[in-house]
Amino acid sequence: MTASAHRDVAVVGFAQRQMREFDGSPNCIELLVPLLQELWEQTGWTKEDIGFWCSGSSDYLAGRSFSFVTAIDALGAVPPISESHVEMDGAWALYEAWIKIQTGEADTALVYGFGKSSASTLRRTLALQLDPYTLTPLWPDTVSIAGLQARLGIDQGLWSEKEMAEVAARSRTSAASNEYAIRRGETTADDVLAQELFADPLRRWDCAPVTDGAAAIVIAATDALPSADKVSRPAVISGIAHSVDSPSLGLRDLTRAPSAERAGAAAGGASGVADVTVAELHAPFSHQELILRRELGLGGPEDGVQINPSGGALGGNPMFSAGLIRIGEAARRIWSGEADKVLAHATSGAALQQNLVCVMEASKDKTL
């Protein structure tokens, strides 16, 4: 898909919840209702202002069928709404909504993702996203697959356990100032390395915590912002793209994520990511941030690029909304004036198999 939009679309509202264990139904209606109310307050809109709705969730997480249909109760879907769903992170729901706005069928959209990861053994349940003939019958869990990937890079000298620990420590430290993060606190790389191995070569803090939660975002075409819009500095999507690599783990070079590189190149467009100053990367394992930074051509703090100021997925990784949260966290930096150009990334599948990149910029049009 082309990265240059014909129609400018901006992120104008964002709300989230993250928690270790959500003590409620896996439909997460109770979580979604207050999120939507927050969005109405942020935007000054009502549900009648929304032209398209799209969600990301999975029945495998909920343990029941059609959980996303039940969740629609939270929206107030009468009179009938235009609605869709992806069995992927909400970031892909945002992509679908962006396409919908490009087609002109809608001017505004509300996208959301939700999931109760704690209802089952998450790393085992996720084996169901693998090839059902040759992989799922072995029940390879998410953590083990990430461990295979981490060791490949360590053995090849592409990164070290110390560099992984530095990512984990920086993430925990940044997450300390994120009220939504569930794993946080001032941490040094030595603190991380002092941990026992959890899934050799991974330590517990190298792995994102099992997290329940939900997030919701409002996007709108900049040529159709209702007058009630209260966001003075919308985050305009200058490029958004996603790509996928082979489902065969063996056929992939697991030390790389070519689909992230492709998505980044497409979303970055002609100007690339050189002037991005904040990047929110959806890396559920510490070494995956190192892979992503290389694939996306992103510098680090030493180059004036803030990586995961929210603490990233290592601070909290609610399934089906953690990628969407990256988009919201990055957009927030534009609203606040902290940044003029930001990059958000979301991943899906095993070991960074599928990747989405969304680049956002402060609008140059002062009349917005």
Partner 1 sequence: MTPPSTAVLHQPLTLEFDYTRSLGPVLSQYMSGLAAKQVLGAVLSDGRVAVPPPEYDPVTHEQISRMRPVSDEGVVVTWSWVAEPLPDQPLDHPFAFALVLLDGADVPLLHAVDAGSPDAIRTGMRVRARWADERVGSVRDLASFEPAADTAPGPVPTGETSGAEGITMTSTPVRLAYDYAASPEESAFGRGLKEGRILAQACPVCHKVYVPPRGACPVDGVPTKDPIELPDTGIVTTFCIVNVPFLGQRITPPYVSAYVLLDGSDIAFLHLILGVDASEVRMGMRVKAVWRPEGERSYSMETISHFEPTGEPDAEYETYRRHL
Residues that bind partner 1 (CB under 8 A): 23-27, 29-30, 32-33, 36, 47, 60, 63-64, 72-78, 116, 118-121, 123-125, 128, 132-141, 143-152, 155, 197-202, 246, 248-251, 254
Helices (H), 213-305: 258-268, 286-296
**Closer residue to partner 1 (CB): 32 or 359:** 32
Dist. CA 318–CA 316, nearest whole Å: 6
Helix 142-155 and helix 286-296, axial crossing angle in degrees, nearest 10: 60
Of residues 215 and 236, the one with the C-beta less far from partner 1? 215
CB of 147 to partner 1, least distance (A): 3
Q: How far is the CB of 139 from partner 1 (least distance, A)?
A: 5
Which residue number, 108 or 178, has a Cβ lying nearer to partner 1? 108
Q: What are the start-end ranges of the H helices in the chain? A: 29-43, 59-62, 67-71, 90-103, 122-125, 142-155, 161-175, 189-193, 258-268, 286-296, 322-335
Taking the least distance from each CB to partner 1, the nearer of 155 and 338 is 155
Tell me whether residue 125 or residue 286 sits nearer to partner 1 (CB atom). Answer: 125
At its nearest, how many Å lie between partner 1 and the CB of residue 182?
18
Residue 194 CA, distance from chain mean position? 29
Other Cβ atoms within 10 Å of 230 Cβ, number: 11
Q: Which residue has the tokens 């030390």?
A: 255
Rounded to a whole number of angstroms, the minimum distance from the CB of residue 40 to partner 1 is 10
Q: Which two tokens stand for residue 112?
A: 């959301």
Taking the complex as a whole, how short is the minimal distance between the CB of residue 119 and partner 1, in angstroms? Answer: 5
Q: How far apart are CA 26 and CA 342, in angstroms?
A: 33
Nearer to partner 1 by Cβ, of 113 and 234: the residue is: 113
* Of 70, 12, 36, 16, nearest in space to 214 by CA: 16
| Shortest Cβ 202–partner 1 spacing (Å) | 7
Q: Which residue bears the tokens 């999975």?
A: 58
